[in-house]
Amino acid sequence: MINKFTHSNFHTICDELASADDDLDEIIKAHGYPPLWSRPNTFETLVHIILEQQVSLASALSALNKLRERVQEITPARVLLLTDDEYRACYCSRQKTDYIRYLAEAIISGQINLQAFEQMEDDEIRAQLVSLKGIGNWTVDVYLMFVLQRADIFPVGDLAAVNALKRVKGLPATTTREEIVAVATQWQPYRTVATMILWHYYLSAPAKRANKQKEQPF
């Protein structure tokens, strides 16, 4: 069975997590419930996530808006008509230009069907997406969490989530990836919602980092 969260059960899941974890409980008491961040299941959304790789949210949004201005509607067919120079004018690096084109071609050819993903298991979706150049586990995690609202994802490649977890749990900077994953297992089967609580804390807590914006995945 596909494990999802919805607007109707989101706060209930938050409460369940808080009842089992004092640290998450303290976050909700101090800052309230996290927003239920979501995005539509569209080609444009995946392009947006690709643009967000390794840059600030503002930079990614600027590039996305430039693409919108250029093609009016961001569709696979329209982005494939753009030249390298037009992509550069839209603040897209050569690498990300290639990634967007590969994704567009995969959708047009039928290799990738975003609507079909809604009825597929997480692992199957991940296998299909990471087979495309430029799409790794972080991109898939964000897609599963924000677009398909899959309830049990912990994005171990996301700096904001990992740094928030370390702060909340009092873990040293040297904590390994494997140790982080092990800590997050306590929140199964709702690791996505726990992560949203951590992001909420990261954005709300007084200890801000100068490069915080580069660490946000949404």
Model confidence band, residue 211 (pLDDT cutoffs 50, 70, 90):
very low
The pLDDT assigned to 206 comes to: 62
Q: Are 127 and 135 in contact (CB under 8 A)?
A: no
Residues 51 and 32 both lie in one domain? no
Q: What is the pLDDT of residues 87-113, one digit of tens each?
A: 999 999 999 999 999 999 999 999 999
pTM of the model: 0.91
> Is residue 43 helix, strand or coil?
helix
Q: What is the pLDDT of residues 27-50, one digit of tens each?
A: 999 999 999 999 999 999 999 999
Query: Both ends of the chain: CA-CA distance in Å?
Result: 27
The pLDDT assigned to 214 comes to: 40
d(CA 81, CA 66): 15
The pLDDT assigned to 56 comes to: 86
**Structural domain containing residue 20:** 10-37+152-215
Residues 62 and 113 both lie in one domain? yes
Instruction: Pick the last residue of a domain from 95, 130, 147.
Output: 147
Asked if residue 5 is part of any domain, the answer here is: no
Instruction: Pick the last residue of a domain from 120, 147, 174.
Output: 147
Q: What is the pLDDT of residues 113-155, one digit of tens each?
A: 999 999 999 999 999 999 999 999 999 999 999 999 999 999 9
Residues with Cβ within 8 Å of residue 174, at least 6 apart in sequence: none
Residues 107 and 93 both lie in one domain? yes
At residue 163, does pLDDT exceed 50? Answer: yes
Q: Spell out a b/e string for 146-180, using b for 16 or more CB atoms within 10 Å of the CB, else e.
A: bbbbbbbbbbbbbbbbbbbbbebeeeeeeeeeeeb
Residues 165 and 201 both lie in one domain? yes
Q: Are 66 and 51 in contact (CB under 8 A)?
A: no
Residues 108 and 52 both lie in one domain? yes
Model confidence band, residue 1 (pLDDT cutoffs 50, 70, 90):
confident
